[in-house]
């Protein structure tokens, strides 16, 4: 049995697997991140990675093969979530593929992840082995989502940033924005298509908390400026400490809230151009030594329309995209009222209806949240 839509596919991967969780984090001090083998059952070849990275690994499988959960797991998962631990023939094959991939990378590429699931599968469950003349002689298209950009020596990073700052309202107005509280609706892979109320609290320079009011309880994701946690019903734990690229993604969300913090966050910058929806777009790519880059996309008006970051997993690197639109004036500063986050495990849409600038925000809003109720 196959699920028809890709959104349903990724929803099952994340929402269903969380029911295998076996650990509850309720202490006051932050423990070390929970490892996959302590949270999920019957883990064989993906041991020693954090639980949040394990979920991104499942997303990599889905994106690479075009599969949903039941494509590999037993169909008993519909009535018994513990059936995710049953070893099926396709799960056994997946384990063999991971071992093969790791062997290739270790033997020929110095253990760098040069070969991944997507290298061969490219969204097909069975890799094609015969060349396609349609691809060979077809039109070459520029991929705006590529990590590898072609720098434009004629472009100016300073000019793009200056134009962005002016489009937002200018340096002085940005500096005057010390925080905000936003309210609106949230819908995503875990809401069944229903919008839920959402509140976003942000305080300069880099703190952000969102609260989604779900029927089962408040789903909270917090970045306190250094660490990030998720207390959400679909997660594999009632309180999950975010690590690696997921921590970086939470930090990026906080940066977007206060754009003046973006540029100094990276030591190196490159500029390029591309087309998105057949419209010209400028790309600024920020880089730090030893880290994956982040792409920032600016439309013809100078506003930031998209960010694209990446997260390393045990089976390759996956993208995390944030689209920004419907900019409106808030205390003299342009702010996006529609935000769409897309990654290999799902897609979430935030539509804001009200944003209050510079309110008093209790510092406790950015503290480690309580575990999600009932998990």
- DSSP string of 250-319? HHHHHHHHSGGGTGGG-SEEEEEEEEETTEEEEEEEEE-TTS--EEEEE-TTS-EEEEEEEEEETTEEEE
User: Is-contact 286 262, C-beta < 8 A?
Assistant: yes
CATH number at residue 31: 1.10.468.10
**Residue 151 in domain:** no
For residues 299 and 195, state if they share a domain: yes
Q: Rounded to the nearest 10 degrees, how much is the dihedral formed by the CA atoms of 310, 311, 316, 321?
A: -40
* 213, two tokens: 């009011």
Whole-structure pTM value:
0.89
For residues 168 and 265, membership in a common domain is answered with: yes
Same domain as 202, residue 244:
yes
| Tokens found for residue 204 | 């300069």
In-domain check, residue 190: yes
User: 183 and 100, same structural domain?
Assistant: no
Q: How many domains does the chain have?
A: 2
In a domain, 239, yes or no: yes
With tokens 């529609």, the residue in question is 338
pLDDT at 317: 95
In this prediction, residue 27 carries a pLDDT of 40
User: pLDDT digit string (tens) for 324-343?
Assistant: 999 999 999 999 999 999 99
**Residue 63 resides in a domain:** yes
Check whether residue 126 and residue 169 sit in a common domain: no
User: Which residues contact residue 119 at a Cβ distance below 8 angstroms, ignoring those fewer than 6 apart?
Assistant: 316
Shared-domain flag, residues 116 and 61: yes
Same domain for 224 and 315, yes or no, is yes
Residue 29 is predicted with a pLDDT of 56
Is the separation of the CB atoms in 319 and 309 below 8 Å? yes
Per-residue model confidence (pLDDT) at position 375: 60
DSSP secondary structure of 240-252? EE--HHHHHHHHH
Answer yes or no: are the C-beta atoms of 293 and 287 closer than 8 Å.
Answer: yes
Which of 118, 133, 148 is the endpoint of a domain?
133
The number of CA neighbours under 13 Å toward the Cβ of 117 is 30
CB-CB contact of 206 with 178 (8 Å): no
pLDDT of residue 350: 97
Please report the pLDDT score of residue 14 as a whole number: 44
Q: Is 137 helix (H, G, I), strand (E, B) or coil?
A: coil
DSSP strands (E only) in the chain: 179-188, 196-203, 207-214, 217-223, 228-231, 240-241, 268-276, 279-287, 294-298, 304-313, 316-330, 333-343, 346-357
Tell me whether residue 244 is in a domain: yes
Cα angle: 215, vertex 216, 217; to 5 degrees? 95
* Domain assignment of residue 273, given as a range: 157-366
With a CB cutoff of 8 Å and minimum separation 6, the contacts of 141 are none
| Weakly modelled stretches of the chain, pLDDT under 70 | 1-30, 375
> Which of residues 98, 133, 168 is at a domain's end?
133
Same domain, 284 and 216: yes
Is 374 domain-assigned?
A: no
CATH code of the domain in which 283 resides: 2.50.20.10
In a domain, 148, yes or no: no
Q: Are residues 173 and 225 in the same domain?
A: yes
Q: Which run of H or E residues covers position 216?
A: none
| Residue 162 sits in the same domain as residue 95 | no
Q: Are 317 and 310 in contact (CB under 8 A)?
A: yes
- Tokens 């949903």 locate to 68
Q: Is residue 333 part of a domain?
A: yes
Q: For position 30, what pLDDT does the model report? A: 63
Residues 51 and 166 in one domain: no
| Burial status of residue 180 (CB atoms within 10 A of its CB: 0-12, 13-18, 19 or more) | buried
Query: Quick one: pLDDT at residue 120?
Result: 94
């Amino acid at each position: 049995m196959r699920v028809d839509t890709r959104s349903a596919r990724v929803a099952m991967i994340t929402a269903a697997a969380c029911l295998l969780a076996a650990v509850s984090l309720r202490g006051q001090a932050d423990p070390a991140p929970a490892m996959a083998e302590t949270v999920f059952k019957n883990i064989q070849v993906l041991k020693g990675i954090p639980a949040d990275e394990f979920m991104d690994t499942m997303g990599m499988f889905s994106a690479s093969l075009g599969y949903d959960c039941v494509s590999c797991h037993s169909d008993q998962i519909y009535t018994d979530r513990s059936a995710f631990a049953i070893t099926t023939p396709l799960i056994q094959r997946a384990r063999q593929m991971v071992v093969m991939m790791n062997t290739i990378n270790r033997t020929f590429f110095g253990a760098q992840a040069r070969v991944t699931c997507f290298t061969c599968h490219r969204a097909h469950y069975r890799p094609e082995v015969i060349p396609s003349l349609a691809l060979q002689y077809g039109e070459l298209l520029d991929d705006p989502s590529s990590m590898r950009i072609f720098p434009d020596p004629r472009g100016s990073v300073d000019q793009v940033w200056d134009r962005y700052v002016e489009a937002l309202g200018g340096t002085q107005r940005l500096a005057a924005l010390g925080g905000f509280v936003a309210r609106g609706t949230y819908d995503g892979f875990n809401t069944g298509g229903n919008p839920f109320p959402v509140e976003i609290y942000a305080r300069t320079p880099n703190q952000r908390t969102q609260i989604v009011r779900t029927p089962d309880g408040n789903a909270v994701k917090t970045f306190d400026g250094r660490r990030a946690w998720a207390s959400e019903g679909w997660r594999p734990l009632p309180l999950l400490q975010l690590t690696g690229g997921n921590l970086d993604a939470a930090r990026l969300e906080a940066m977007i809230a206060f754009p003046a913090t973006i540029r100094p966050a990276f030591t190196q910058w490159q500029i390029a151009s591309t087309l998105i929806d057949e419209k010209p777009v400028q790309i600024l790519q920020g880089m730090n030594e030893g880290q994956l880059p982040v792409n920032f996309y600016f439309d013809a008006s100078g506003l930031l329309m998209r960010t694209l970051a990446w997260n390393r997993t045990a089976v390759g690197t996956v993208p995390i995209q944030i689209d920004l639109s419907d900019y409106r004036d808030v205390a003299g500063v342009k702010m996006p009222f529609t935000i769409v986050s897309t990654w290999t495990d799902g897609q979430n849409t935030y539509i804001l209806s009200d944003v209050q600038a510079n309110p008093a925000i209790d510092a406790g809003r950015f503290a480690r949240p309580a575990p999600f109720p009932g998990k």
